[in-house]
Each structure stands twice: as structure tokens, then as C-alpha cells.
Structure 1
Amino acid sequence: MMPRTAPWDISPAPEIPLAPPPHPHHIFKNYFFHEVTNGASLVILKNPESGIYPDRMSANIITMETRSDNMAVKNAKTINVGIKLTPEEIIRDYRLCVKSRHASILGRMEVMKGRAKFGIFGDGKEVAQVAMAKAFRKGDFRAGYYRDQTLMLALGVIDFYNFFAQLYADPDINHDPASAGRQMNNHFANRLLDENGNWKAQTDMYNTAADLSPTGSQMPKLVGLAQASVLYRNVPELKDFQQFSRNGNEVAFGTIGNASCAEGMFWEAVNAIGVLQAPAVIAIWDDEYGISVPNKYQITKGNLSEVLSGFQREGKKSPGYDIYQVKGWDYPALIRTFVKAAETARKQHIPAIVHVVELTQPQGHSTSGSHERYKSKERLEWEKEMDGIRKFREWIIAQGIATAEELDAWEEEDKQEILRIRDEAWEAFHGPIRQEMNTVLQLIDTMSQGSAQRAALQNVKQNLLRQPVVLRHNVFSAVEQALILTRNENTPARQQLLQRKQENSRVNHRRYDRHLYSEGNDSALNVPEV
């Protein structure tokens, strides 16, 4: 049996007739069922002969025609099904988790090599986030933080190329559509305005509010996003704004780490959402540490579920939250929990808190430290054993969805894909910088010929070449130094370098300083000065 995830008082889901299984796992002739517990089931359907999902089954209600002992299954017990999954979907989820983990590992390596300045990633939270993605619908909003890369990847808000481009702070909006390199890494956003400054149809998109660096600051935004659905459902004058909401059916998903739950903004937001009865689903990623500080030193009783229990609603008609606790490595239970929490919030405007426990953080908090310095050997060993991807892999093999050999081959293929994408993203970012550097070095060489500052100019050149990773500011600094050294000289090469500096200043202004405000027709920048 899978672990229980409270509460079980849930609205009816599509039902499937199913003969009462004599065991938690029951094999019929053609299909495999996996019972979670107490009528809350994840159903995996697989034809053992073909290994594929039957196309004739509808999207919501599955009618079984399987025969056992040449008899049709009749008068079967019915159980609630929150979602159906094909083996292909499960493998796709697993491979996304593997890719996301490898991207985190490579991301840390890029910082250590000097290609990126800082790295903070979502390793250890992958399985929970592919589960959350299954509850996310177009029109929904996310207010989250820097651990959410797998959720963003699962929803298609970013791809792995975007992930690395943002890590490098690539200023090309096509490479980093979230902020064109202006945000801290793993700070996500999608664009709500088109190029002319007009609103996009948010009900056709997976939406995410721009992340903020101060921990906990996503929570006040979450209140407003959830309250918007309350207003769109209850205010008649808002019904026509279909590009923003369809009758308030949108859920605001919030994510936060366990340590940030000790902050005042978290408790104020939780209270406000509860008072408003706004459709928010708050996921707490709990890996039991806040950087180096364990829960017992920052959370009363060391248990957020227990501290939050007073917000649990007492009955179907009473206000409050549905509060769930689920293990972060338990793929079926995570899906069931998030789907149920989101659908209740969507239909009834009952908020939910999903406390995801037993998560890990394999690389520590960020590239600024090492968790081996403050976690015990026993804790580090536990994190290896309970790693979400490792447990997901064990579950897939145990259910006969794929063999260890198949998973090994896919994992190697996926790692090579992420390596290739990283190299492509780096070349797209750094190639133009290298080209600019080479042009500047040639001009400095030409300037030094016959110059009274020959030795000093060559020193500027060598200092630039000695940089382990040359960035634009290094090239610009070398240009500035060369121009200052030759300020009393007037040569064609110096004039070319000066013109290049002026042109690059204009380009960099457009590259880094534009779109700080909307530049569409309705922009405040178009209002005449008084």
C-alpha cells in the first residue's frame, strides 16, 4: 500500500469499474492496476503484449472490457480515479527528472569553471514538480522561487537551452525569455504583454509571476493572484474578460521552501488566503534544512504540518484549508495529492497546503557552499538512499514499466543531450564576445606599433588574454584602458577603436537598458512631460 495522504473527504472523480483486488497489485488479463489506498487510486494501463496504452479509451472515463476466466467483470466495485497515466508518460516524466538533475549538476560545474557567477538549482525536488505539473492548467498562475526549474520545464515555460542561457545571463531575449539575463539564475517569468504592449490571453498560457530574490516574497503575490479568481467568479462586471479568467476557474500555485515558512510573509499570506477562501495551492518543499539550519531550530516542533493544522477546515461547509502531507519521492501519491488539491481549489475555491516531506538537496543550498560541512554522514547517506529520482526508478522497475537496462540507456542518452544543449547555449552566448575580443586585440596590436605606450598597450592585451573567462565588461575595460593610454595620440587604429567603443555603448544600451518599462503604445513613457 502507498502511504496515506489526508484528507480523504474528496469530491467524486471519474469512476472506473474494477473488480475488488485481492492484493494491492492485481493483474487482469490485459491491464495492470495499481491501488494507492482507500479508493484513491492511480491507474496505470498497459497491454503486456504490446506495451502500449489502448487508444479506444476516453480521456476521462475508462470502460473495461477485460475478461477474467472467460467471464466479463460485472458488478465490480467502483473506485475513484484522479488521473490516468500511460507507461510512456511515466517514462517521459522520469527522463525529464533525470535531465533536470543533470542540468543542475552541470550548472554547478559551470559556476566552478567561471562561466557563470552563481548557481542555485532545483535538484532533489524533481519528482514532486513533475507531479504538480499534472494539476496545472492553462490560465493558472505560479508564484514561486528558484527551486522550480523542473515544474517550469514540465509545463514548457522554459526549455533546457533557456535554463543555461539564464545561468550565463545571456541578454538575448530569444535565449532567455524570462528576463534576457537580467534576473538571478533560476528566477522564472513569462511575458504577459506582446511586443506592442498589449495583453496576451493569459487563459491560453501557463503563467508565472516574475520571481523575486528575497525568500518568502512570492507569498504576497500569491494572495493577489488567488484573490483575482475570487473576483472573476463573483463580480458580474468582470465576466467578459475571458483573456484573463474563465469564471474564476484558475488556481494560483505557490511554492516555498520549509525555512522560508518561518517568515512573517508566509503566515500573513496563509492567513489572508484562508480568510478570502481563495483558490491557492501552496506547496512546501521540505528538505528539513534552511541552508545549514535544521528544522528543529526554526520551526516549532520541527513539523510544519503540525504547526499548520489549525488552518485545516473541519467539514465540507466550514472555511479553512485542505492540508496534505506527502512524501517527495512517492510519484503516485504526489500526483494524486496535487490533482485532488487543485481540482478542489478550482471548483470550490477551497485553498490547499501540500507539505512535501522527505525531500533532498543533493548539491546543497547553492554554489556558495557545501552541505558536507554541516550534514552528518548518516544524513548524507539517507539522502542518497531516499533520493527522489532513485526511488522513482525503483518504482518503475518494480511495476514492470521498464527494465534497469532500458533506464540506463535512456539516462545516458539524456545526459548527452543536456551536455550538447549546454555547449550550444554557451557558444551562442560567448561566441560573439570572443569575436569582439579578437577584434579589439587586433586594434590594440595595430595601435601599439609606433606608439609611445607600446609596452603598456601590450600589457593591456595580455591582461585580457589572461582572463579565465572573458566577458563583455572585460573587453570594454581593455578598450577604455587602451584609449586612456593613447589619449595624446591620433592614429587611424585609435579612431577605429573609439568608434567601436561608441557603437558598442549604443548596442549595450539597447541590450541591457531597454524595456525596463513597457514600450508599447500605452506606455507611461509616452505621456508628455508637464
Structure 2
Amino acid sequence: MSTEDNSNRFSEVSRKFGITPEDYMLPARHMINLLNPDGSLRSDAEQGTEPGHEYPLPSPARLLEAYEALVVGRRVNDQNSALVRQGRMAVYPSSHGQEACQVAAALCLEDGDWLFPTYRDTVAVLTKGVAPMEVMTSFRGEWHCGYDPKAYNCAPMSTPLTTQLLHAVGVAHAAKLRGEQTVVVAMCGDGATSEGDFHEALNFAAVFKLPVIFFVQNNKYAISVPLAHQSAAPSLAHKAVGYGMAGERVDGNDLMALMAVMGRAVRLAREGSGPLLIEAHTYRMQAHTNADDDKRYREDSEVAEWVGKDPVIRMRAYLDDAGLLDEKVQGKITAHAEAVASTLRDGMNEEADTDPLQLFAHVYSEPTAQLREQRELLADELAREEA
């Protein structure tokens, strides 16, 4: 694609919004933020919107749906952390504090769209409709992926950083070649933006104008490495313009802003505007996993500061003030969250019926000689133990 082609491409989009191509691609000067930490609605001047960066508020029904998913996500996070302490789960990367990002990522998609999550995006996968026990199977060490990705249009939760971004781009490319209206949301963290796969995925998506939204949850740490030691860019959203796509920054603890920004991004991608990069500023309230000691690299005062920005408390306060949430509705939502946690707890307390030989299944359609040899060695060892 020539420079002239790129110019024409962005001129078409920018004319739609009445702004220059540069203003379309560059993030708004201020982070998009619709709600204050106390749940009050910010004024138009405070919201960070600019020409071409306006976001209609989600409907009350949509906000209640999102809030319920948020409450369920928080309850599942806390339940899983308890299961780890009880020895019922091997490891769990909690997203306590980041649930609003994950709810918005899942709810912005339609049935035919695809979600590509990371290992920390349990809440997003739950919100996509996957059963709790199917989501948590891999963390129990019972199976590679407990759900059928094609049944939910949700890829397996990826532990290797950024490999899922390349897979997401591949699905979007295939959908475009087939003439489908599929939109793909590819999730990652700030640490993933330092990986080579991040560059390859964004560059390919931009060149081929693919309907992919790269959703970066900037929780300030790549395990123990702070963002300042990873990138010198003004923001991670600013990286988008170098690839020829639009970027945006949003308050990742503001569920209303996330729903508005992600909803707009999905609409633009579906209309053919190409890929977009959304950077959500949030915070991982708990350790990287149960194997991590976060006190070695951050202060308690830093964590305490983010407690006051809790996305669950903020959204509940807004809904209360708006008259959309009363004790009866809140009671139903809380009961639903407890039911999900109870189902998960009961399932995890049952002993898993596993077959170690399944380790070699589904690796290749036709097993290699090495795999067959390894399987026979393990089968022999297991038979000796049983004898």
C-alpha cells in the first residue's frame, strides 16, 4: 500500500468525523473518563472527549447487565483465590481490580465475533458465557483448555505473552477474506507490548486493514517490571499511530467509559475502519499469581491509592444515584454471584478424574515416533505403579 493509498484511507475516515487523519489516529489528549471515583458523572469538559472522539453513553439496561457481570467477576476472583489457599487449585492469576476491562471486552462483542484472552482474563471468558468449571480447568492442572473455543467464539486463555495476538489477526484476516462481518478483540497486558509478536500482529493488521481491536490492560506492571522500564512512549495508545491505526486511552476502572469506548471501536472496526488500539489504565490489586510476592516491588501505599478507584464500588454508586439499582435488584445480583461461586467451589472440591496419557492426545493428528515412544514409557511406568 503506497503513502497515497494510506492518506486516502484515513482521509475517508477523518472526513466522517470532520477531523484530520492525524487527529483520528492520535489518542485524545486526555484519557477518556466518564465517571469520577465516587461514581458521579463527570462534566463534558472533564470527560476527555474531543471532535471525533465522542462516546454515547450505554443504555441503563446495558449498564445493569455489565454491572452484574462485574459483581460476578469480583466474586469469582475472590473465590478462586480462596481455592488456591485451600490447595484445590494449582495457580491463579487474579484480575481483582481489573474486572471492568474484562467485562467490557466481552460484552462489546456480538455472537459471531471472537475474543482472544490471556491467562488473566478469566472474567472476560466467563462473561462470554463459558461455564465456571470449564474456565478454571486449566488452572487446576486437569486439562489444557476446559471449553470448546468454537462453541463460544473464545480462544483458549493464552499463557505465552502475545501469541494470542497473532492468532487473533489470523482469524480476522480469514473472516475478511470470506466476506464476514466478524470483529476480533485481542487482549493483552502492558508487558506484552514489549514482545516482538505485538509488533508483528499490529503491523499485519494495519497493512491489511483487519477488523481487530487490540485491547491493552495497562495494570502498571509486567509481573514486577514497572511500565516506565518498558516503554518511553507518551502512552501505549500512542504506539498505534506508528502502525497506521487509531489509538485511544480510557480509564480502565470506569465501566461506563470502557463500554462506550469499546462499543465505538467495535462499530468502527465492523464498518471497515481497520484495527484500533485501546489502552485501558487499571491496576492489579493482588499479586501477579499466588507464587508472587508483590511487596518486593511495590509499596502498600500504592495499592491503597487504587482501592479508592475500585470499579465495582464506582459503578454501584453511579447506578444507585441514577435510581437504577435498589436493594431488590442488588440482592438478585449478589445471589447470582454467590450461586456462581458456589458452583465453582463444589466443582473444585470434587476429585478430578484424570488420565495422564491424555498428555499426548491432540498434539498432532498423526502422533510422531517420539510421542509414541514417550507415551509407551509413561504407560509402562503407570502400570508398574498400579501393580
Give the structure-2-normalised TM-score: 0.74
Offset of residue 231 of structure 1? 1.6
Deviation by residue 1:18-54 (Cα, 9 ceiling, x = unmatched): xxxxxx9xxxxxxxxx89859x9xxxxxxxxxxxxxx
For structure 1, which runs of at least 5 residues remain unmatched after alignment?
A: 1-6, 13-23, 25-33, 41-79, 171-180, 193-204, 233-246, 312-319, 433-471, 473-507, 519-523, 526-530
> Structure 2: how far apart are the matches of 1:210 and 1:164?
11
Percent identity, please: 21
The corresponding residue for 2:240 is: 308
For residue 416 of structure 1, the aligned residue among 326, 338, 341 is: 338
Question: 1:160 deviation in Å?
Answer: 2.1
Residues 175 and 181, structure 2, Cα contact 8 Å, conserved in 1: yes
Structure 1 residue 259 corresponds to structure 2 residue 201: no
> Structure 1 residues 118 and 377 mapped into 2: Cα distance closer, same or farther (>3 Å)?
closer
Q: CA deviation at 1:218?
A: 1.4
Higher helix share: 2
Pair 1:293–1:273, CA change in 2 (3 A): same
- Report if aligned partners of 1:11, 1:344 keep a CA contact under 8 Å in 2: no
Amino acid at match of 2:144: R
CA deviation profile, 1:42-84 (whole Å, cap 9, x unmatched) = xxxxxxxxxxxxxxxxxxxxxxxxxxxxxxxxxxxxxx98675
Q: State the match for 1:324 in structure 2.
A: 248
Measured in 1, the distance between the counterparts of 2:128 and 2:15 equals 29
| Shift, 1:256, TM fit | 0.6
Secondary structure at the counterpart of residue 335 of structure 2: helix
Of 171, 174, 183, 1:225 maps to 171
Counterpart-to-counterpart distance in 2, 1:10 and 1:341: 15
Whether the aligned pair in 1 keeps the contact of 2:71 and 2:334 (CA below 8 Å) is no
Structure 2, unpaired ranges of 5+? 1-12, 19-33, 35-40, 48-53, 368-387
Whether 1:182 aligns to 2:136 is no
Structure 1 residue 142 corresponds to structure 2 residue 115: yes
Task: Name the aligned partner's letter for residue 212 of structure 1.
Answer: S
Instruction: Give me the whole-angstrom Cα distance separating, in 2, the residues matched to 1:509 and 1:328.
Output: 41
Q: 1:370 to 1:344 in 2, by over 3 A?
A: same
The one-letter amino acid paired with 2:59 is L
TM-score (norm 1): 0.55
When residues 509 and 277 of structure 1 are mapped into structure 2, their CA distance, relative to the original with a 3 A threshold, is same
Contact 1:251 1:345 in 2 (8 A): yes
Measured after TM superposition, the shift of residue 8 of structure 1 is 9.3
Instruction: Give the aligned residue type for 2:191.
Output: A
| Selected match of 1:85 from 59, 64, 77 | 59
For 1:245-301, what per-residue CA distance to the aligned partner results, in whole angstroms no more than 9, with x for missing partners? xx2311121111011101111112111211111111110001111112211111114
Task: Please state whether the residue corresponding to 2:316 is helix, strand or coil.
Answer: helix
Query: Structure 1 residue aligned with 2:271, among 341, 344, 347?
Result: 347
The amino acid of 1:386's aligned partner reads K
**Quick one: which of 149, 164, 169 aligns to 2:141?**
169
Please tell me whether the aligned partners of residues 322 and 341 of structure 1 are also in contact (alpha carbons under 8 angstroms): no
In structure 1, which of residues 116, 121, 128 is the aligned counterpart of residue 94 of structure 2? 121
Q: How many residues align?
A: 328
Q: Hey, what does 2:25 align to over in structure 1?
A: none
Does residue 216 in structure 1 map to residue 139 in structure 2?
no
1:47-446 alignment to 2 at 5 Å? 85-87=59-61, 89-156=62-129, 158-170=130-142, 181-183=143-145, 190-192=148-150, 206-232=152-178, 247-301=179-233, 303-311=235-243, 320-357=244-281, 359-403=282-326, 405=327, 409-410=331-332, 412-414=334-336, 416-430=338-352
One-letter identity of the residue aligned with 2:195: E
Distance 1:182 1:206 in 2: 16
Query: RCO (CA 8 Å, sep 6+): is it higher in 1 or 2?
Result: 2
Query: 1:395 and 1:248, CA in 2 relative to 1: closer, same or farther beyond 3 A?
Result: same
In 1, Cα distance between equivalents of 2:85 and 2:55: 46
| Larger Rg over CA atoms | 1
The CA RMSD measured in Å over matched residues stands at 3.3
Indicate conservation of the 8 Å contact 1:321/1:350, yes or no.
yes
Question: Aligned partners of 2:90, 2:66: CA distance in 1, in Å?
Answer: 30
CA shift at 1:328, angstroms? 0.9
Aligned counterparts of 2:94 and 2:343: Cα–Cα separation in 1? 17
Aligned amino acid, residue 182 of structure 1: H
CA distance in 2, matches of 1:189, 1:425: 15
